[in-house]
Amino acid sequence: MVEGRYPPRSMKLAALIDVLLNEHRLMKDGLVRAKTAADRRDFAAVIRELRELEPVFRQHIADEESQILRLLIHELGVKGAEEEIKVFQQHRPIHQLMQTVAELASKSPAELEASQAKLEALFDDHTAAEEKRVFPKALSCDSGRTT
């Protein structure tokens, strides 16, 4: 997968959250395309779809962790942002699963199916937590700030 540094995008929090929500949909669509390709046994397409998601996912994480998580910890403290920290700790396992699925696409169809299902479930749980709990809390903290 693609390595590299992804500096956070410079934009107001509400606009950033709109971008992040759109990226959730883009990444979900990419995972669905990868699953469809796997179902067709088009493993090259699975790898291609996941590679196309890589930079979106990395930029997404850079923005969430450097801006949203930073804001929540600043405003609420580590203890107050404990649940959100747990949600963001899911980034690494999701990324590792993406890599595993891409690797398995060229090796084992049976293992690919199991890993892909796990990736989809983890991604869905993660984005739901961000959208229902983390982003609203960040917007609430941001609206109370004087800048």
* 25-71 per-position pLDDT tens digit: 999 999 999 999 988 989 899 999 999 999 999 999 999 999 999 99
Which distant-in-sequence residues (6+ apart) come within 8 Å of 26 by Cβ? 56
CATH superfamily, region 13-139: nmb1532 protein domain like (1.20.120.520)
Listed in order, strand segments (DSSP E) in the chain are none
Which distant-in-sequence residues (6+ apart) come within 8 Å of 105 by Cβ? 38, 43, 44, 46, 47, 50, 112
Q: Which of 24, 23, 95 lies closest to 54, judged by CA?
A: 95
* DSSP character at residue 68: I
Q: What is the SS3 assignment for 71? A: helix
If you average pLDDT over residues 98-103, what whole number do you get? Answer: 88
The pLDDT of residue 60 is 96
Q: Which of 57, 125, 46 lies closest to 86, judged by CA?
A: 125
- Cα 136 from Cα 54, distance rounded (Å): 26
The pLDDT of residue 2 is 43
Task: Indicate the pTM of the whole model.
Answer: 0.84
The pLDDT of residue 52 is 95
Reported as a single tens digit per residue, the pLDDT across 90-100 is 999 999 999 88
Which distant-in-sequence residues (6+ apart) come within 8 Å of 125 by Cβ? 90
What residue spans define the domains of the chain? 13-139
